[in-house]
Structure 1
């Protein structure tokens, strides 16, 4: 077991439980928030202590749900100072947490009905009947949070100077990843269907993220995903850095595993180089119309 991170199988039981806990909060935000393009309204901010929903509009006042992943509790709090604290511990099933969360929302005057079916999850048991997922390893959760902080620093350094519409690195409850996005401002409607895809893929963009792995891809990794999707990068592969980064044709993504990033003397530099060269390759293959302005250097030091 590596001291810096866990591969998904090393903490799958805890990862899945935490994923489902956070999905419930994300779905509450989805139900209550004002819609934004590309699902911007469901982003969940990372903090020093954990992951929260940020401000959610309630029936009469605002509220938030915050997961403190250092102290291992969840605060459900209204703007009028009403607060309910839920403890996170091993043995707390998803079904039990669902009941507690719904009860807490009732207590602060923000009752919210959500779709109890998990999304983008490999074992979709409805929240209110899921007694299978109940493992909570505090050390694993804290290590995951440490990895998210590293990802936030690295991705934020790359994304910060970009102009136009940019999503800062945020947690996404569907796939348990932390990612940010640069948008081109050019319309690109999705050729398929489905409410998630159609409302996500409607503009040319490039997403830069980190996710902790899943049953089919067990290593935590950074990724760069352009839309429209690239089928291959041909000879431009020589531009990709650092050396251990690669392009996966099957998933149309650039990949740098967390293990490989940590293998370099300056891991954060490895990640920012990965983001920069992946984005440069995209602009060689499918250049954006306003790219010179989007990447125009700031007039003050961006570092």
Structure 2
């Protein structure tokens, strides 16, 4: 297994450019998709060679936007056989990509204007005006994809046995993370006023995921984020594993770095241990109704 990785500052220019490219595709899906609870309609999907929107409905057809991060191009195609391709490479600015993507959607007959302002991103420059982000390091992108594949295996191994309502790993374009969610089925109204939180949080849940780092936390890390948010974990911190995992009080979030996972004798096992320990702590603090049923694996009988 490839245990290489990049901290966010080591490839920030490329990471930010790719992030903004993916945001545009995600926003197209937001505009066209049928609305689902907990922003389920905005999820994008990891594949062997990249990240895609999945099927997006249009008037008389379906279409998709697919980022091939091995051969480094974006395919925009519909169910009627129309297709066009955008090459990815160093020097392609966010503004240029925005123009090409909008043109590609026009070409296949699915024109979709989007809100050009980035979401959950440190630079608010509209896509069509952003000429500063234009870096594309192929090796860094391919390494990011390899890290996502490891994260997908680790997340799937942990989430798959859950019997209750569970979203399996998918890519969120807002924060550039890959995550899955376990739901309790218990209502928990959100007290905030922001649009994202108001539509994301309406029942007790715990999100488990991986993201490549950002301007605030520069190391790629696995995380667990319970909702309702935890103010502290008190004495239950002794249950947190592996040893280098920790709880960030201001963010109400558990973290375990990719570097520490790769340093373990069995990295995937270490990530699974992290997820299990965080879920155990959550249930000690606020046990869900029907927990035994939610966590009891479904038995497939012969």
Please give the TM-score of this superposition, normalised by the length of structure 2.
0.98
The aligned counterpart of 1:57 is 57
| 1:221 and 1:257 in contact (8 A); partners too | yes
Q: Distance in 1 between matches of 2:77 and 2:163?
A: 35
What does residue 240 of structure 1 align with? 240
The count of corresponding residues between Structure 1 and Structure 2 is: 300
Cα distance, 1:154 vs structure 2: 0.0
Partner of 2:101: 101
8 A Cα contact 1:46 1:52, kept in partner? yes
Structure 1 residue 26: Cα displacement:
0.1
- 1:4 aligned to 2:4? yes
Shift of 1:297: 2.5
Report what 1:255 is aligned to.
255
Question: How far has the Cα of 1:237 moved from its partner?
Answer: 1.1
Correspondence for 2:34: 34
- CA gap of 1:236–1:268, structure 2 versus 1, over 3 A, is same
**RMSD across aligned positions (CA):** 1.1
User: CA offsets per residue over residues 181-203 of structure 1, 9 Å max, x none?
Assistant: 00111111101112211110111
CA contact under 8 A between 1:179 and 1:207: conserved in structure 2?
yes
Is the 1:98–1:127 Cα contact (8 Å) retained in structure 2? yes
Q: 2: distance between equivalents of 1:42 and 1:89?
A: 26
List per-residue Cα deviations over 1:174-223 (Å, max 9, x = no partner). Answer: 00000100011111110111221111011110000001001111000000
The residue number in structure 2 matching 1:126 is 126
Q: Which runs of 4+ in 1 moved over 6 A?
A: none
Partner of 1:155: 155
CA contact (8 A) 1:20 1:118 kept: yes
Structure 1 residue 3 displacement after superposition: 6.3
Given that residues 164 and 295 in structure 2 are in contact (C-alpha distance below 8 angstroms), is that contact kept between their aligned partners in structure 1?
no
Give me the whole-angstrom Cα distance separating, in 2, the residues matched to 1:108 and 1:222.
38
> Which residue of 1 is the match for residue 175 of structure 2?
175
1:14 aligned to 2:14? yes
Tell me how far apart the structure 2 counterparts of residues 112 and 298 of structure 1 sit (CA, whole Å). Answer: 42
- Does the 8 Å CA contact 1:59/1:109 hold for their aligned counterparts? no
- Render the CA deviation track for 1:142-180: whole Å, top value 9, x for unaligned: 000000000000011000111222111110000000010
Secondary structure of 1:27's aligned partner: helix
Partner of 1:117: 117
- Tell me, in whole angstroms, the C-alpha distance in 2 between the residues paired with 1:261 and 1:147: 11
Quick check: 1:224–1:278 contact (8 Å CA) kept in 2?
Answer: yes
Any residues of structure 2 matched to 1:139-288 within 5 Å, and which?
Answer: 139-288=139-288
- Give the aligned partner of residue 292 of structure 2: 292
Using the alignment, how far apart are the partners of 1:262 and 1:79 within structure 2? 41
Q: 2:224 touches 2:255 (CA, 8 Å); kept in 1?
A: yes
